[in-house]
Amino acid sequence: MNILTITFNNIWRRKIRSLLTILGVGISIAAFVAIIGLSEGLKESFISNFKSRGTDLVVVEKGILDILSSKVDISYRDKLKAMPEVEQVAPILLDLFSFKFKQFIVLYGWELDSYLFKELKIRGSFPKNDQEVTLGALAAKRLNKTTGEQLNIKGKLYTVAGIFQSKSIIEDGAVIMSLESLQKLKDAQGKVSLYNIKLNIPFRSKAGYAQINQSIEQAEERIARALPELEVKNIQNFISNNTPMYLIFNFTWALSVVAFIIVVLGIVNTMAASVLERTQEIGILLAIGWRNLSVVGMVLCESMLLGLAGGIVGLGFGYLMMNIFVLSPQLAGLMAMTYDPVLILKVLIISLGLGLVSGIYPALKAIAIEPMKVLRYG
């Protein structure tokens, strides 16, 4: 019998214990998959939201904790438009609208002639005055509204002028109104949350990725020098360094470390008990000529199989949890359910690695068994 056959037999003989270990590993891996998947999905949703507008740079208030607290004077619009490296400027005001208990929809305040409207597919029309709003398709579904109906936002009635579709799920789940209307609603006259900047990059369609990035970096430095009182960032840095997102990512990895420790302890406990129960069997194998390396390989193979099985179970549970969270009213409209091949591969490699690490101590215990003592007293 080869090592793999013996390993499968050992796992099968202890079905209940092996199953409980696999479930324990699976639950911990599922938590990792769900947490990492959700945080990465949220990050990608924000990035795609800006990319769908053709955004190169974002200008916000310096030192803000989150984008909703940013307040930049509207007068910077003309200063930014006058810069030769800037092709388009779109001031944007953001707010949240609570329409049910703990259910929110993003409110966008855009200028009525903003180039951002060109990126949307509309049924009906875009807002033409301060009394009209346009709903994303997902927002219209959540609010159960259609074109021509009235929508109460924070005590004020607006007419739904149209329903649009966007490449960004965040925009698809949002309400867009005129900038002046949201400024009044939010009591932020003359203020915006951020400036959406599209740069003037010659031959953009023909330029390579590195060349475009270099142009963005150079423009970022020039605008930052011209407006030192504001913060100028490219999309990737803006999302990654945004304080709430940064805290989410750190918290995610902290929870993942705890989950991995639980996985290791669970497999170590199972494998140590297995080695203890099979002392006589291992002693016989050593007595008939098995090398220590073969015994170590047998134990490590078993622990890695348990880890891999737990990883596969965890992937299934993790994506199920993600699907439930994404469809929940609290997260609807913020992100879409995606299956990331890179994350799946990482999970399988991590599961094998955790199984390998977990099997080291039991493997050392196994080769410490003295065959003669086992055969004499076993």
The CA distances from residue 319 to 26, 30, 73, 305, in Å, are: 12, 8, 43, 21
Q: For residue 134, how far is the Cα from the chain centroid?
A: 28
The single-letter DSSP state of residue 14 is T
> Which tokens go with 79?
């200063």
Which pLDDT score, from 0 to 100, does residue 89 have? 93
251 vs 266: which has the higher pLDDT: 266
Helix (H) or strand (E) holding 238: helix 235-241
**Residue range 215-226: mean pLDDT, rounded:** 88
Any idea how long the chain is? 378
Is the pLDDT at 9 greater than 80, yes or no? Answer: no
Q: Whole-number mean pLDDT of the chain?
A: 81
* Residue of 197, 234, 196 whose CA lies nearest to 85: 197
**Residue range 11-17: mean pLDDT, rounded:** 76
Other residues' Cβ atoms within 10 Å of the Cβ of residue 259: 20
Give the separation between CA 353 and CA 125, rounded to whole angstroms.
Answer: 55
pLDDT digits (tens, 9 = 90+) for 137-160: 988 988 889 999 999 998 899 999
Which residue is it, tokens 């799946």? Answer: 344
Residue type, 357: V
Which pLDDT score, from 0 to 100, does residue 331 have? 57
pLDDT digits (tens, 9 = 90+) for 286-313: 777 778 788 788 888 888 888 888 889 9
Give the separation between CA 48 and CA 26, rounded to whole angstroms.
Answer: 31
pLDDT digits (tens, 9 = 90+) for 172-216: 889 999 999 999 998 889 999 999 998 887 766 666 667 777 888
Strand partners, 94: 108
pLDDT digits (tens, 9 = 90+) for 301-350: 888 888 888 889 989 988 888 877 777 665 555 666 677 788 889 888 98
Give the separation between CA 165 and CA 228, rounded to whole angstroms.
Answer: 37
How much of the chain, in percent, has pLDDT values that exceed 90? 23
The single-letter DSSP state of residue 189 is T
- Composition of the chain by helix, strand, coil, percent to 5: 60, 20, 25
> What band does 252 get if pLDDT is binned at 50, 70 and 90?
low
Give the separation between CA 186 and CA 202, rounded to whole angstroms.
Answer: 38
> Which tokens go with 116?
């951002």
Q: For residue 45, how far is the Cα from the chain centroid?
A: 8
